[in-house]
Every structure is written in structure tokens, then in C-alpha cells.
């Protein structure tokens, strides 16, 4: 696995020059991450249109759903571009492992966001363990 870093806009995107477009045509594809402080991080991909000759025309970008905490792009063992996200549903252990694995690909601000998130999850878990916080689960159904 090779972690990719610095690909945060279409201008700084990771580009693959020989990508399939349909059954016979080839094009370029570019990948990047977009981060919104309120929504999180999402993964974008965008291909060129090889049917238009004489100039490079980029198709409409495709976006993933948001991963609320952070995201990282990497190349898998076969050289394919992948991405992974850290969400608010991840456990403390999953969050720590995720940070250890993908930390080098994160901008400093996102790295701090993840570390803060882990600290808050640990503090909440400690409060739960000490009985300072109680969780009530309601099904929304009331028996008459």
C-alpha cells in the first residue's frame, strides 16, 4: 500500500493517464479529497472525455458520501486508487488504528481533527465507565 498525500483539489489531483472509458476507449482520470469542516471529507474522481478530439475536456466529477472525521487516498497492492474514511461510528481502537495507518497522508489540520476526536471518544468512554453519563435508547414506540 502506498499512501497518497496533497491531492486536495482538481488542480493537485492524483492523475492516472491510461484509464478505461467504456469498452474500447481510454482516458485520464483524476482523484482528490475535499474537506468541509462541517460535513467531513469526501472522495472525488473525474475522467476526461476521449470522444472530444483536439482538446482535453473533463467530465462532471463524481463524489462519494462524506466521512465525517477524515479521509485518505492510497494505492492498493495492485496499484489501484482507493480511499478510506474515518467516521463518527468508528470505535476508539478503530480510530487509533486508522490514524496510525494513514497519518502520513493527512494534512496537519485533519491530523489534529482526528487526534481531538480520539481524545473526546476516550473521555466519553471514561465518563460512561465511571457512571457519570447514561445512555438511554428509545425505540420511539410506546405501549398503551
62-92, pLDDT tens digit by residue?
999 999 999 999 999 999 999 999 999 999 9
Name residues whose C-beta falls within 8 Å of residue 51's C-beta, 6 or more positions apart in sequence: 25
Q: What angle do CA 34, 79, 76 make, to 5 degrees?
A: 65
85-121, pLDDT tens digit by residue?
999 999 999 999 999 999 999 988 899 999 999 999 9
20-57, pLDDT tens digit by residue?
999 999 999 999 999 998 999 999 999 999 999 889 99
At residue 109, φ and ψ (nearest 5 deg) are -65, -40
Q: What would the grid cell of residue 57 be?
A: 475536456
At residue 15, φ and ψ (nearest 5 deg) are -110, 135
pTM of the model: 0.85
Amino acid at each position: 500500500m502506498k499512501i497518497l498525500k496533497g491531492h486536495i483539489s482538481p488542480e493537485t489531483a492524483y492523475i492516472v493517464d491510461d484509464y478505461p472509458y467504456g469498452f474500447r476507449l481510454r482516458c485520464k482520470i483524476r482523484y482528490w479529497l475535499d474537506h468541509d469542516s462541517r460535513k467531513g471529507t469526501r472522495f472525488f474522481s473525474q475522467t476526461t472525455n476521449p470522444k472530444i478530439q483536439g482538446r482535453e475536456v473533463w467530465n462532471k466529477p463524481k463524489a462519494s458520501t462524506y466521512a465525517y472525521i477524515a479521509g485518505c487516498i492510497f494505492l492498493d497492492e495492485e496499484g489501484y486508487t482507493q480511499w478510506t474514511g474515518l467516521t463518527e461510528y468508528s470505535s476508539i481502537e478503530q480510530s487509533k488504528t486508522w490514524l496510525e495507518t494513514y497519518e502520513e497522508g493527512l494534512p496537519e489540520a485533519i491530523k489534529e481533527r482526528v487526534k481531538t476526536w480520539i481524545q473526546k471518544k476516550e473521555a466519553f468512554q471514561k465518563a460512561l465507565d465511571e457512571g457519570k453519563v447514561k445512555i438511554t435508547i428509545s425505540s420511539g414506540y410506546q405501549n398503551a
